[in-house]
Structure formats: C-alpha cells, structure tokens
Chain A
Amino acid sequence: MSARFKTGDRVFVRQAEPIGHVRTPYYIRGKTGSIERLCGEFPNPEELAFGRSGLPRLPMYRVRFLQTEIWPDYRGRALDSVDVEIYEHWLESARQG
C-alpha cells in the first residue's frame, strides 16, 4: 500500500466514534494538523485486537497539531504543538491553511 500523504500535508482527523479497538485518541478526532513524517506501514490494530492478521499493513503517520487548535483555553506559547501517531484511514486531506 502506498502512502497517500507526504510531510507537510494538511490533514483532518475523521470525526468517528465506532465501537471497537480504536487507537485514534478521542481528543484529536475532528482536528486538523500537518504530516510530520510517515512512520512506516504497520498491521491494523483494529483487526489485530480481534485475533486477525491486521494485513495489509497500513501507512501510519506522525501528525503535528497546534495546542491552541486543540484546547480552547490553552495558555501556553502560540507555537506549542503535540504529535500524535495516526493510521492513514483516520485521515483526510485538508485544505492548505
């Protein structure tokens, strides 16, 4: 599987709340960030959790978000950020901004 995003791309984390073994933290769903790097391709934990192979491997990215865009009452420095590792199927392309 080839990676859909490259470093610097703006991405939107899908706002979904399925039952299952979801590794995308709740607080980051619905937020927009930038691809920091492609970490590699890994078996899908949402399938591994139920004893299946998790194949094909899925691209996983380190995505960087501004703290001020995540927490409305954030009082730290304007450029403070948080990196979250997210599988590709949880990401959508976001407009440059």
Chain B
Amino acid sequence: MRSYHDIGGMDLGPIERSEHDYALWEKRVDAMMVLLWQKKGLLTLDEHRHAMETLDADEYGKITYYERWMVGIAKVLLARGIITTDELGRHMAAAGDKR
C-alpha cells in the first residue's frame, strides 16, 4: 500500500517555497522533540514519523508542520504509557484548547 505521505513523483503542482518566522510555540515543540529524543531517550524519530504518517489523511494535509510534530509526539507518549489520554485531555482543556 502506498502511504499518503509517500508522494515522490506525483503531480501535485508547484512547491510552496516561501519562508516564515517560527512562532514561539513552534520553537517549543522543536525543543520538546529534541529533549524527548536526544536527552531523555523517550522516543525515536521512527516512532515519531510513524505516528505522523498514520494520522488521518485529511488531517495530515490540513494541519501545519509543527502541529503534525506535536500530534506525533503525543501519540508516541500515549503509546509508550508516558502520558495518559486523561492527563492530555485535562491539560489541553486547562490551556483552553477546544480541539
């Protein structure tokens, strides 16, 4: 089966080449990833990539790069039992996230 992220050679139009400054939350997600992966050894890049590449195909296309990273981190930490769904839900509610 061809995974939806495996798009090499498909005719998808021009590549968006514009750059943007990173928001603070994006830098935080990046930092969190480095800490979890390199400093703590709580996830591997392959677990993280697999978590992102098994998102719902529509969702994968709709959310931004660091949103995908964040969702991927959460999925790995849930799968490893490092955080629970209940904890995640309560913290997200406390932070005002209605997703």
Contact = CB atoms under 8 A, between A and B. Distances in A.
Interface of A: 17-19, 21-22, 25-28, 45, 48-51, 54, 70-71
A2 B44 CA distance: 25
B49 interface: yes
B80 to A, nearest CB: 7
B46 interface: yes
B37 to A, nearest CB: 12
A48 B44 contact: yes
B8 A27 contact: yes
Interface residues of B, number: 15
Interface of B: 1-3, 6, 8-9, 44-47, 49-50, 53, 79-80
B2 A51 contact: no
B1 A17 contact: yes
A50 B6 contact: no
Contacts, number: 39
Contact of B9 (A18, A22, A27, A48): A27
Nearest to A70: B9
Given A27-B9, A51-B79, A51-B80, A21 B2 contact: no
B2 A17 contact: yes
Given A19-B1, A26-B3, A50-B47, 6 more contacts: A17-B2, A18-B1, A27-B9, A45-B46, A50-B50, A51-B47
B14 to A, nearest CB: 18
